[in-house]
Amino acid sequence: MKEQSIENIEQDYWQAPAPDASGLIRQLYSVRKKSITDLSVEDLRLLIGQNVCLSNTVPTAINILKDDLFAEGDYYPGDLLVNLLTSDKQFWAQNPILKQQVESLCADLDVIIAQNCDLSETTEREILKAFAGFLNQ
């Protein structure tokens, strides 16, 4: 399944975006054609932020976050984690094993953040707020 693209998995093939389509639509169109194994951190951040194919993108993101909890897409360290933590609540309710994996990754989040000099105070607050919301779903 991971060798397939999102459009193959979902059997949903989009027409090429119109010339005046938003940048987001153009990005989603392009990223949906990539193999799941070829998705970058930014691709995953984008897809998860739009709640696209979570059953495949979330496990891929979790594997990345196991190696680097603050993996960075195009915006800031931890942007993938924030999008994961704030993604569709219904998905997490239906996937308790994946939710538990994320909770385990973030179990010592306060300590991990305190040890990470690369995070701004704003980013630290955003990550902690996203995790608190994730735990309260």
Helix (H, G, I), strand (E, B) or coil at 85: helix
| Domains held by the chain: number | 1
Q: What pLDDT, on the 0 to 100 scale, is given for residue 116?
A: 78
d(CA 91, CA 30): 24
Residue 1 lies in a domain: no
Count other C-beta atoms under 10 Å from residue 125's C-beta: 12
Q: What pLDDT, on the 0 to 100 scale, is given for residue 1?
A: 56
Domain that holds residue 126: 6-135
Model pTM? 0.91
Q: What pLDDT, on the 0 to 100 scale, is given for residue 48?
A: 97
Residue 20 lies in a domain: yes
Q: What pLDDT, on the 0 to 100 scale, is given for residue 2?
A: 60
> Tens-of-pLDDT digits for all 137 residues of the chain?
568 888 988 888 888 989 999 999 999 999 999 999 999 999 999 999 999 999 999 999 999 999 999 999 999 999 999 999 999 999 999 999 999 999 999 999 989 998 877 899 999 999 999 999 999 98
Q: Which two tokens stand for residue 76?
A: 């800031």
Residue 15 lies in a domain: yes
CA distances from 104 to 23, 69, 89 (A): 35, 11, 18
Residue 56 lies in a domain: yes
